[in-house]
Chain A
Amino acid sequence: MSSGAVWVLFLLAFSLCPLPSAGVRSEIVLPSQLRRVSTTSCPAPDPNLYYQPVIGIVSHPGDGASGRLSNETGVSYIAASYVKFVEAAGARVVPLIYNEPPEKLLKKLELVNGVLFTGGWAKNGLYFETVTKIFKKILEKNDAGDHFPLYAVCLGFELITMIISEDNNILEEFTASNQASTIQFVESANIEESLFQRFPPELLRKMTTDCLVMQNHRYGISPGKLLDNRKLSSFFEILTTCSDEDDKVYVSTVRSRNYPVTGFQWHPEKNAFEWGSPRIPHTEDAVQITQHVANFLVSEARKSINRPFTQEVLDNLVYNYSPTYGGKAGKGYDEVYLFAQA
């Protein structure tokens, strides 16, 4: 459209609008009129975005409750808080069961627009292999032109640190079990392109002074070690750090420089959705952190160009499974999804 045409439109619109002095007082504009005007000019949702995004969550070995809920071999679980976290931001969930046949896993990966690796403890065996495979697939999808985000939370972040560095001994020990902490932003970090981009500035400020993020880990990586490792420092940009009980500083949030990959040592899903530990912050600020972090993942997933067949998505959603109430005694995860070995 030429700039001339734009001006014509502008003037046309202006001429339709009576100036405030021109008898507006006597002519009250009804909301119905307002609506009619808006109907013609309201911008349609961005057609390049996908508004039915689906996130794959990889299940973790065990029942999430030291055998209290299931002792079956091959059982795996997803804490319902991760599912609720994703759903709360406007996406649905397909569980990726870590020990299902690789062909099946690959098929399921074609149904989703992003992936989440959860917390847990397993750092080797089939689980590590599955996470490695899926991680490589995620990078491939992005290299091939899709925008396919990954959130790697706690153990998930530790695992991709091991995978990228190709060093299974890269992690260090920290004392940060079951505690809420503050978070410090790395000054040079590019917040604008990260998950923190939509956080209200006031909330970002509070996160540095109030204990609003939940930590529950014994391993991690120090900023020095990450920066000294060529593979890690070329893949990741450090966004935030935190301090453990002994004032040792660890990397708490990273973003990839070239991929829509975000790693968290902390647990964004717990503030709103886990009630078993009295240490988990549940204030309005804390819950907003959960929502903002989830919103970023889903906003990234909406950019994915994958448009899977609707019925196949419906057939694989986590809705096909029922959660188990593991937190009735006030300990552990409130609810978990359990998956028998396929």
Chain B
Amino acid sequence: MSNDNVFSLFFFVTLFTCLVAAIAQDGHIFLPSQLNQDNSLSSSSSYAAADSKLNQRPVIGILSHPGDGSSGRLSNVSDVSYIAASYVKFVESGGARVIPLLYNESPQNLNKKLDLVNGVLFTGGWATSGPYLQTLQYVFKKALERNDAGDHFPVLGLNLGGNLLIKIVADQGDVLETFNASSLLSYLQLWSSANDEGSLYQRFPSDLLSLLSIETLVLHNHKYAITPRKLQYNRNLGNFFDILATSTDRDDKIFVTTARGKNYPVTVNLWQPEKNAFEWATSLKAPHTENAVRVTQSTANFFVSEARKSSNKPNAQEVRDNLIYNYQPTYGGAAGKGYDQVYLFQ
């Protein structure tokens, strides 16, 4: 071990231990060590038994976003929309297949496709109004209805997708604030609810979980977010969501980075799990270490394990006729910038 490592280790271990002890006194933020223990206990006993009831061929719908994902470099067609291939790879690596839901297709088509999937994912992007917002709102409403009707139908809103869910649930335009968190490698502060059954972090391996607060294993890339206080004090949001994790922007302002529906399998996540393993643009700064890639995998595993609880078992040929395999990705990252690959839908 080099001198630098010895230095870092001592300095860090000692400081961190006492900081954690200090935080524990407050009782509000959860100790990683406690989280780990509980995690290993509950996960080994709970999911093995339910295995036989699970749907082992889950399919996830991903909503396309307006544009070509590269400022017109790949397509200038007016109604083009795209899904970055990293989201598709993310879902596939968790053991599910993908059906694209085009934001501008007819409601009948959309309804038909929603009957073929076991969960939906809303991606990052920039569109916060117009037909995209309307469609996202519609799909979200349908997802809640599916859950109300007795299915377990998970929703994962990433970055923009997560922020839009917060705005929709708040039913109020100005709940988000600006943050200085573009292309920011971050630590996570896990809250006690991160340990609850069915939460994203509850499915992380315990060693990885404890690293989230001490290594920068996640990438934020957003300008808007909600503060913990605002989420808790807004009646709609406070009733709907539990905060699982917060993070800190460049100005030391704290924002909610992961929240979870209290009564619905809805997860809002501002950090971008798909980029660690699947996006390589050097300007992006996504972490590609083994642990960073395990973060991608653990998040995908969580989402797909939720989708396996969906009892919807659609016709197999209809599923295959609508899979993303019917489309071919475009290589947009050949110059080392932007998304590596995108699926374009005209």
Contacts and interface: CB of A to CB of B under 8 A. Distances in A.
B47 A311 contact: no
A299 interface: yes
Nearest to A325: B325
A319 B16 contact: no
Contacts of B14: 10, 13-14, 17
B340 to A, nearest CB: 6
Contacts of B308: 284
A22 to B, nearest CB: 10
A275 B97 contact: yes
B328 A298 contact: no
Contacts of B282: 310
B74 interface: no
A320 interface: yes
Contacts of B21: 20, 24
B223 to A, nearest CB: 19
Contacts of B323: 325
Interface in A1-50: 1, 6, 9-10, 13-14, 16-20, 24-25, 27-38, 40-43, 45, 49
A291 B316 contact: no
Q: Which of A16, A90, A322 has the most CB of B within 10 A?
A: A90
A41 B15 CA distance: 9
A84 B94 CA distance: 11
A92 interface: yes
A52 B284 CA distance: 13
Interface residues of A, number: 74
Contact of B187 (A13, A18, A34, A330): A34
A284 B301 contact: yes
Nearest to B56: A282
Nearest to B253: A32
B328 A322 contact: yes
B129 interface: no
Contact of B92 (A35, A51, A273, A327): A273
A311 B189 contact: no
B248 A32 contact: yes
B325 A335 contact: yes
B49 interface: no
A311 B336 CA distance: 8
Interface in B235-264: 246-248, 252-254
A290 B96 CA distance: 13
Interface in B1-50: 3, 5-12, 14-19, 21-23, 25-26, 28-29, 44, 47
Given A273-B92, A323-B328, 7 more contacts: A17-B19, A38-B187, A41-B16, A84-B89, A84-B93, A283-B56, A310-B282
13 contacts: A10-B10, A32-B253, A33-B19, A34-B187, A42-B8, A49-B289, A84-B93, A89-B277, A90-B293, A272-B95, A283-B56, A284-B308, A328-B321
